[in-house]
């Protein structure tokens, strides 16, 4: 029997049920041909104390071709939006009155979740309290890395506002988040050795904490980091775990042919073939990340923590 999604607009998922919903819907979507998982080979490069995971994605050409189709539709005056409405077979659950959880149609990592606004908002708009409420509600359900690509300059491929969460670990080998090794942590994140302009805030979030308090702190920290880095709404990446939140200002979306989004700053890059992998090896992952970040921004500074 085909799974119904009539409840999505009105019934947010119950706590403790999201992971089951994700895995069940992924199986349904795969069987229906709606989910196009991109196979990859994972290779590793050591650079600056980090073992970067570099995924080689031959099928990335297919995804780029589909994006070209979308661009052509846009140029032809057709306002194509895959999230409005989202595909029925990819829809997981309502997260809140304002957001839905859907599967990433072209996923490299299994169970890659998109948190989309129910009504159209630009990806190049600031995150709001409602966005953080939806993000935290999902992140409280399983260990994952949340992130936001603020516009095309930050690696976003869709104009409709969407946050993302991928389960950990990010790669088969090494730490769950490769860049974690450069985040000096005791009771809370206090400093970093990242060689790029950024801000980081220690969160130490606990699922038992009052969700309203968690969201309040996340929004306050986000706004403070954005102000200190003097970023615009379309030019930064945001990475979020239960322990820290990291913001990186961006100057461009690509380094040559290589597109970089938030996952790159977590230590996970993607290339479409061995030639591009060789380019990453010769250039160095950190040099690539420095090349797409905004170098005129001020360096790192710890911005606080939550008790």
Instruction: Specify the pLDDT at position 289.
Output: 97
Instruction: Specify the pLDDT at position 72.
Output: 60
Read off the DSSP letter of residue 107. -
Q: Which domains does the chain have, with CATH numbers?
A: 18-292 (3.30.428.70)
Q: Where are the beta strands (DSSP E) in the chain?
A: 41-47, 50-56, 91-94, 99-103, 113-117, 144-149, 162-167, 183-185, 189-192, 199-202, 236-240, 244-249, 254-255, 258-259, 268-271
Instruction: Specify the pLDDT at position 187.
Output: 42
User: Per-residue pLDDT averaged across 144-157, rounded?
Assistant: 96
| Percentage above 90 pLDDT, the chain | 73
Query: Chain-wide mean pLDDT for the chain?
Result: 88
pLDDT at 24 over 60: yes
Q: State whether residue 91 is helix, strand or coil.
A: strand
Dihedral sign, CA of 263, 269, 271, 273? negative
d(CA 260, CA 205): 28
Q: Convert the pLDDT of each residue in 203-229 to its tens digit.
A: 877 777 788 999 999 999 999 999 999
Is the model more confident about 9 or about 155?
Answer: 155
- On the 0-12 / 13-18 / 19+ scale of CB atoms within 10 A, 275 is exposed
Q: Convert the pLDDT of each residue in 92-137 to its tens digit.
A: 999 999 999 999 999 999 999 999 999 999 999 999 999 999 999 9
Q: Are 153 and 249 in contact (CB under 8 A)?
A: no
């Amino acid at each position: 029997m085909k799974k119904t999604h009539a409840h999505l607009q009105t019934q947010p998922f119950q706590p403790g049920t999201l992971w089951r919903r994700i895995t069940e819907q992924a199986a349904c979507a795969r069987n229906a041909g709606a989910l196009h998982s991109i196979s990859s080979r994972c290779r590793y490069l050591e650079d600056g104390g980090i073992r970067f995971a570099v995924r080689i994605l031959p099928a990335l050409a297919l995804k780029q071709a589909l994006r070209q189709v979308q661009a052509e539709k846009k140029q032809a005056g057709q306002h194509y939006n895959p999230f409005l409405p989202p595909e029925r077979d990819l829809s997981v659950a309502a997260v809140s009155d304002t957001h839905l959880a859907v599967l990433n149609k072209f996923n490299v990592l299994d169970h890659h979740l998109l948190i989309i606004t129910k009504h159209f908002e630009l990806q190049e708009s600031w995150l709001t309290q409602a966005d953080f409420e939806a993000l935290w509600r999902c992140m409280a359900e399983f260990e994952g890395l949340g992130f936001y690509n603020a516009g095309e300059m930050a690696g976003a491929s869709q104009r409709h506002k969407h946050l993302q969460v991928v389960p950990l670990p990010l790669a088969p080998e090494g730490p769950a988040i490769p860049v974690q090794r450069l985040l000096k942590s005791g009771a809370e994140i206090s400093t970093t050795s990242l060689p790029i302009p950024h801000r980081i805030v220690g969160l130490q979030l606990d699922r038992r904490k009052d969700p309203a308090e968690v969201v309040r702190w996340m929004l306050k920290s986000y706004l403070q980091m954005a102000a200190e880095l003097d970023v615009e709404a379309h030019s930064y990446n945001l990475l979020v775990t239960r322990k820290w939140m990291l913001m990186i200002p961006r100057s461009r979306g690509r380094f040559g042919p290589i597109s970089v989004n938030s996952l790159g700053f977590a230590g996970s890059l993607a290339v479409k073939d061995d030639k591009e992998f060789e380019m990453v090896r010769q250039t160095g992952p950190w040099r690539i990340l420095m090349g797409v970040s905004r170098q005129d921004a001020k360096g790192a500074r710890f911005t606080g923590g939550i008790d």
